Structure 1
């Protein structure tokens, strides 16, 4: 295996130019709203609360600015009228007709899953690869961490039943670990170290992953033709669903991630992200360099993906993001409660990165990736503290506590525009392209979906931020978070269940909103859109898990993604023609 540092790699001058240009954009996105906030808070002099608000805003604004800056860059990339891959990765070699010689293992990691459903998602991929005459370049490995013996027996039976229906059963391999040390990352590394002989690359799949043959073959050819690359991450989009919460969540993420992913691929270049699945990885460098370190307290790393990417880049290998929508899918949590459970698991894993930042094995860009992953959750307690400080200042009778309303509202709007920039610019990109509008069901339906999803997400943000803040405090006091199996099935959330889980979110929202109301109408109206979601947390949870509402959204075409309008979609129709007409 050649040392990647001695093989053709990304143009360093080009990457320095891009990163300096991006840094200038981010600094501008920070400076303007912070200057407006300084003017607003200092209008009558400075109180302790006002100083704290500005310091906290200065701490969180770089992360918010990276969202806006990446979205602005990505929007320009997508509107340029060129192949986005060629724009973000100009020296990539890619011949879609080249003979495929790379042998690739397809890894499906499962733990207490409905194995029959998992394999049913992979079956069409295997059949399509066989139909294209390249099935012998791939093999499927089902890597199980299931600990319950009854579930394990059912799992093994499902694997054998699936094997019996394959044209080439010898290409299916199943292994269950007795010990799930290292969680999913340990499962994959055990395969790499002990079972990967004869394979040059692997594609990692989650239990809910779906990938088309076209996508897999594109990844394999890109990996084969670019020897300096150790990992290529696809842009992952969500599968069609009639469940309200994931339907609306994924609608906004779908067009938002298009702009954001193109932006980060442009400025991160060979130091790109890894999101843990639906990516192709070169086995040799992963085996040699990506084994996860043990944390100083002896604990295992929960969120493995970004650490593995940073380890590969620190060893001189490239990590790339292909920003095209190309047949790479996942499923989202079916309800608010499952979303928050997953969120806490991810947060616990990302906060572990604090202990890794000083390790000498990372490049400076690798450390930036880890810091961005930390800020994905750390912004919540910062913003929560800003809200409390704003309330204290609003209730303060000191003349210095006066705030210039015009500048304050302008700063708030600018911060909000930066925060929502991926969604807003992603929607604008679709709206400006006739073919894209048609793929999303037409301009009218798309605009309605954008409006409904914006309200949905505006209400979700304070619930999520409060939950992350309190859970982070609990972890700081010693609470440990494990990596429990996910619940993927759609189901209604009873009112009682929602109230028991979300009563304190509602109480916190009501208390803050009442406090701002006591301070006056200006303060109340400023806080209302920021806190309404917390006040409405329980009914929001119940409503977004209501199957009847989901059916109505599907019939109206609200929140529909392009696969729902595409006859060639790999997914079945969400509703029968009779149900749609009923």
Structure 2
């Protein structure tokens, strides 16, 4: 099959494609289901409320309920759509279903850059993953079409020196000269998106496609090759997004996230892809982008709004997808592209640290959604969906506060027959309909938990249960996941509410690398979860004094808050996660039959690292080969930085060691060729009793052993 060249590529705006009509019908159907169901639920609530919406407080409860109910209804119907499409064998309009395997295999590959931005990540662990991707492409016989870039924004000298040394060793081990590159930006501007943009400005025209990875990403060669060939066959597609599965979970928390992602995501991803079709979102990693239109149309200018809505865009991915769609190109999520992986934070605390960053970035999207011209409606709704992922928490908290006030008013205050300005000769009699309240509660439970049952049915129908440990263990795993998700929901609600408030007040954030190994200590859990714990105890005590029935109603929210500290600690325990894995609970198919790329990554990461008492800074100064490496990557900064300042910093470093310099001073010294050379030459002449003399003695002992 002939492949269209760049000159023949035309954006999707050139003509109305059939999928847009299908997408419009599916989205209309979703809207009817969601709003129809929400209207019915609101009608029930209106008659459950004592004054049937006759007070301002009840109207507030009704409005909050409508938003929250519609929010969870969207998730339910997306999963239901996914279940139906999987029963039918998949969506016939998806990119993979358009082309036969033999046609795909005949398509020649194009030059593709594989890009991994890093920022203070564990060096050996991260580079081992990239090594596994490289090896898999090498085995496939398609390595010649791909080049790799490690783009560092690390600021700590010990970290970026270790990165440079690890890159050099990796190039040597793989024989990847001229194919695996490392670059660290001198100025950390605009986060990850700025790092990628910097690469494209310099070398983007060398490549037709770019695959973006996170530091925890793994993609098999089979998937990478298939993605490039699909892009060659579909010139209207600007971004093709895979659905990454979570792997390598060790702690109980990570294993729960891994199981939930792997087991439930086929339904949600299939449903989401079927509704979004060519107006899908980009998740920032594990995706392939068409470089030329991405460079031309997806540049991110600073926002010009007030407070949080000004400055650089923190969450770039959804915005880039929207800009690609505005330019007339299609953006597709393809759930059928398997063998795409990422990892989750190991503890609840680490997940919430990540969510704190994402909350601010997602809230910025509200400004773009409302002000950016020319965006497609589906992408504006994607922005709204991302905003609601965090705004739903303070809305839920406000709903609980309003219902608590209503319960207190009905219990402590006399009945008001003429509430909130109600006038007339006839009083407004309060009414209670417990059977309607029960039906409404059950419908909400169905919306929340029926998708999990549908996932179980889907696994049985497609004969996937063996990969999850068998039907019995799979059912137990689902029950464990449901129980823990119920425990975590109130904790996330309070945390996300705090993040949203902090974002709206434009509290500055520190962007840091992700913890991937450490467990949560009792003191850390007490420090972070104590406020929520006190709220849960206080609310339960108030509910008990108010009304026994209201106390029981409050328990699903209050009890998890009371248990927040032990929950946070126990979920972080690796020993519990391993114990469940040994019993074949919370397992996933990739653990039962590992892929070659996963085995390669696991083996590389398990290799013991040399035990050394020398910091990367010490090794960069003393070891001749490493000093020459870092010197070759440094520049002459004597003109950019005052020469006397550099000389003074070098003198202090030689006299008392690198700890006498600030991180900024040390970075300036280690990025200057003359300073590096002088440090190496004079450190070896240092007296034995000094800092560098002691380091030389330790280095000698290491070499002797």
Cα separation, 1, equivalents of 2:255 and 2:58: 40
Relative to structure 1, the CA distance from residue 514 to residue 429 in structure 2 (aligned partners, 3 Å threshold; closer, same or farther) is farther
The aligned counterpart of 2:362 is: 350
Contact 2:240 2:333 in 1 (8 A): yes
Partner of residue 388, structure 1: 401
Pick from 171, 178, 181: which aligns with 2:189? Answer: 181
SS, match of residue 301 in structure 1: coil
How is 1:559-574 mapped onto 2 (pairs within 5 angstroms)? 559-568=586-595, 570-572=597-599
CA contact (8 A) 2:219 2:286 kept: yes
CA–CA distance in structure 1, aligned partners of residues 96 and 171 of structure 2? 42
TM-aligned CA deviation for residue 445 of structure 1: 0.8
Contiguous gaps of at least 5 residues in structure 2: 1-5, 416-428, 604-705
Per-residue Cα deviation, 1:291-316 (whole angstroms, up to 9, x for no partner): 11211154111111111101101111
Secondary structure at the residue paired with 1:49?
Answer: helix
Return the alpha-carbon distance in structure 1 between the equivalents of residues 339 and 19 of structure 2. Answer: 29
Distance apart, 1:484 and its partner CA:
2.2
Query: For 1:45-124, what aligned pairs fall within 5 Å after superposition?
Result: 46-80=54-88, 82=89, 84=90, 86-89=92-95, 92-93=98-99, 95-124=103-132
Q: How does 1:281-296 map to 2 (within 5 A)?
A: 281-296=289-304
Among 373, 379, 385, the alignment partner of 1:360 is: 373
* DSSP-derived class of the 1:175 partner: strand
Go from structure 1 to structure 2 and tell me whether the alpha carbon gap of 1:137 and 1:408 turns closer, same or farther (over 3 Å shift): same
8 Å CA contact 2:46, 2:52 repeated in 1: no
Helix, strand or coil at the partner of 2:303 = coil
1:340 aligns with 2:348: no
Distance 1:480 1:310 in 2: 26
Using structure 2 for the length normalisation, give the TM-score. 0.77
How far does residue 85 in structure 1 lie from its aligned partner after superposition? 5.2
1:239 aligns with 2:251: no
Relative distance call for 1:151 and 1:166 in structure 2 (3 A) is: same
Larger Rg: 2
* Higher deviation after alignment, 317-326 or 413-422: 413-422
How far did residue 421 of structure 1 move? 4.7
**2:258 maps to which residue?**
250
Q: Deviations over 1:453-476 (max 9, x none)?
A: 111111111100111112222333
Pick one of 401, 415, 426 that aligns with 2:455. Answer: 426
Q: Deviations over 1:408-436 (max 9, x none)?
A: 23223322332445434323311343x21
Contact 1:92–1:226 (CA under 8 A) maintained in structure 2: no
SS of alignment partner, residue 165 of structure 1? helix
Judge conservation of contact 1:253–1:423 (CA < 8 Å) in 2: no
Q: Give the conservation status (yes or no) of the 8 Å contact 2:118–2:214.
A: yes
State which of 481, 484, 490 in structure 2 corresponds to 1:462: 490
Deviations 1:28-65 (Å, cap 9, x if unpaired)? Answer: 33223222222211467744332211111122333222
User: 1:93 deviation in Å?
Assistant: 3.9
CA 1:575/1:179 → structure 2, altered by over 3 Å: closer, same or farther? Answer: closer
Q: 1:320 aligns with which of 332, 342, 345?
A: 332
Q: Which runs of 4+ in 1 moved over 6 A?
A: 573-576
Relative distance call for 1:517 and 1:574 in structure 2 (3 A) is: farther
Deviation string 1:184-210 (CA, Å, 9 cap, x unpaired) is 011111112211232100110000111
Q: Conserved in 2, the CA contact under 8 Å of 1:258 and 1:323?
A: yes
RMSD of equivalent CA atoms: 2.3
The match for 1:535 among 555, 562, 578 is 562
CA contact (8 A) 1:232 1:281 kept: yes
Aligned length: 572
SS in 2 for 1:396: helix
Paired residues of 2:318 and 2:383 also in contact (CA < 8 A): yes
For structure 1, the residue ranges without an aligned partner over 5 or more in a row are 577-582
The 3-state SS of whatever aligns with 2:116 is: strand
What is the alpha-carbon distance in structure 2 between the residues aligned to residue 43 and residue 288 of structure 1? 58
Task: Tell me, in whole angstroms, the C-alpha distance in 1 between the residues paired with 2:336 and 2:487.
Answer: 30
Find the partner of 1:41 among 40, 49, 55.
49
1:150 equivalent among 147, 158, 167: 158
**Structure of higher RCO (CA pairs closer than 8 Å, 6+ residues apart):** 1
Secondary structure, in 3 states, of the residue corresponding to 1:169? coil
> In structure 2, what is the equivalent of residue 224 of structure 1?
232
